[in-house]
Structure 1
């Protein structure tokens, strides 16, 4: 199969022929239909986060089940599915207490003495985030996929697998935003726009979008923002505190920088909560004023929107089909696999929401 391979940090991905194994017990073989190009992939490409190389990047995908191994109970051949990098075992403390996204069990990967799921010229190739989705096929554990209704367009369904479930879940599961509360969202990429959309659905009283790119205003307002602050022109902390009369109830940082995480904490008022959704690279530390904790302000992280993806993703699909969840507007460009490096270059301009790779 054709796949986009990362061989060295900072180098363009190469389109290569990669071998994929047959599904073993509890495993699913998927024909990839669409895969979103996510900022998390860029972090690994740039070396902000480490992953064994060479590998096939990509983790935000949707496709059709081609084959299943023995003991698979959740999907069958012909099912349309969305993938999720937060694969879960189902019986650890995190899973049993409903925090599937925090599962770190290695049971969803193959053991070292088993044949690899992916190989190149006979050499094993590490799988990226349980998926390696920039490829014509995906072989993974059944607890990394969920079946969805077949009338859902798969190019839009792919976005639910990361950007949408992350932004939406950060609002509804992690922050637990209540109707009427004010929220500031820093970063209007795929995750930030999904958070804005979620805040609208959850009944936020005021939704303040913040981005360095002024042209993002119209897109942010289309997703539900009531206000927009261009942080390249105005101090976002001062502006939010003025708009809200002392600080927002919630601030969501959807970029992944220490500076903007500190701004998120500073722009919430007494008793407010700053939720850090973006991936802050190792080595970047936050500095917050200790005295601010006396006002019961909270700083918390959110990983993949605190998702319970087998439940959340089908519900988000229904939201889209009902016209409440915006996915069409998230797709800035549909591309071929061999255009993936162009998508990463465009992403770094900050001008686009999401590029989606379509497979034949």
Structure 2
């Protein structure tokens, strides 16, 4: 089958597009999925640059959807022919975190993905790993059964793929983590695919004011289309803060960039007693500085939102229902539909910052 392989990380890394890739045998608790659509997400770029540590050789891609081809003998949740969304953070269902209601923090399969590569390539059958144990920039993948979540067959593949990461991360941050209240005020820093999803989650939750902040004015129109009531560049933020909140600050501040500077900006823009939600994936050595005095006396809550704090068994089908009901605009978030052979160009476009979601449609 065809796949895109990364042999070394770096800011100028290139993908090796090849057609001699095979899969390991399907284990008793595994599911083999033929990928039908997969997104080009900023986290893929972070894996390629080394910001998000991953083993190499690596097949990137973690935001995907497809059709079940084969299941292991102990799998009863899906069967061949089912339409599924790939979860890049499958939960074992048995550890304290899973049982305690935080399956998005389960590390079992994350740890396993660094030592277990399901892909083989080349004449010697060398092992390649899948990003986050997935590797959806390949025509087929093998994932644990917990990582293949069944959805209705009338959900388009492109929409299903977006639900696999960007939508769940962003909408989940608003609905699950922040629990945005009707009539509240929200600021979202960063209007990429996940930032736009946060905006949609805040809109669905009934926020009365949603300020979208991004230095690229070209992204402002789309932010308004999917639910932002106001937009601003970073330079315009002080004026917007005064106009929209009287200088008091927003009820919720979402950071969707993954930089210490924007986390601190979100902190400053959030009112006393408000919630600051970190959604962006940052580097391990990028340290955030907030005074101990402010942490106590401002009364703000600094929250992380990993994968939208989702229980994907419920949230994937739920977000698909919101989409089918017309409450989530996923079509507007797709910049272009491309082919697997276009991935190097797609990565360069993502590095440029202008595109949102490029969706690979498999032949």
TM-score, normalised relative to structure 2: 0.95
1:200 to 193, 199, 203: 203
Corresponding residue of 1:188: 191
Q: Distance in 1 between matches of 2:137 and 2:273?
A: 43
Corresponding residue of 1:315: 318
1:305 to 289, 305, 308: 308
By how many angstroms is 1:191 displaced? 0.3
By how many angstroms is 1:242 displaced? 4.2
Corresponding residue of 1:8: 8
Aligned ranges 1:1-360 → 2 under 5 Å? 1-10=1-10, 11-16=13-18, 17-106=20-109, 109=112, 116-121=117-122, 122-231=125-234, 233-234=235-236, 236=237, 239-245=240-246, 246-293=248-295, 294-360=297-363
Q: Distance in 1 between matches of 2:194 and 2:330?
A: 12
By how many angstroms is 1:109 displaced? 4.2
Gap change, CA 1:144 and 1:237, over 3 Å in 2: farther
Give runs of ≥4 in structure 1 deviating > 6 Å: none
Q: Distance in 2 between matches of 1:107 and 1:277?
A: 19
Gap runs ≥5 in structure 2: none
Contact preservation (8 Å) 2:43, 2:52: no
**1:310 partner SS:** helix
**1:269 partner SS:** strand
Gap change, CA 1:111 and 1:7, over 3 Å in 2: closer
By how many angstroms is 1:110 displaced? 7.8
Q: Distance in 2 between matches of 1:144 and 1:240?
A: 41
Q: Distance in 2 between matches of 1:178 and 1:171?
A: 9
Q: Distance in 2 between matches of 1:126 and 1:63?
A: 19
TM-score, normalised relative to structure 1: 0.95
Gap change, CA 1:299 and 1:80, over 3 Å in 2: same
Q: Distance in 2 between matches of 1:155 and 1:338?
A: 18
Contact preservation (8 Å) 2:113, 2:130: no
Q: Distance in 1 between matches of 2:112 and 2:23?
A: 14
By how many angstroms is 1:5 displaced? 0.4
After superposition, the CA RMSD in angstroms is 1.6
Q: Distance in 2 between matches of 1:228 and 1:143?
A: 39
By how many angstroms is 1:330 displaced? 0.7
Q: Distance in 1 between matches of 2:333 and 2:161?
A: 11
**1:283 partner SS:** coil
Q: Distance in 2 between matches of 1:258 and 1:73?
A: 44
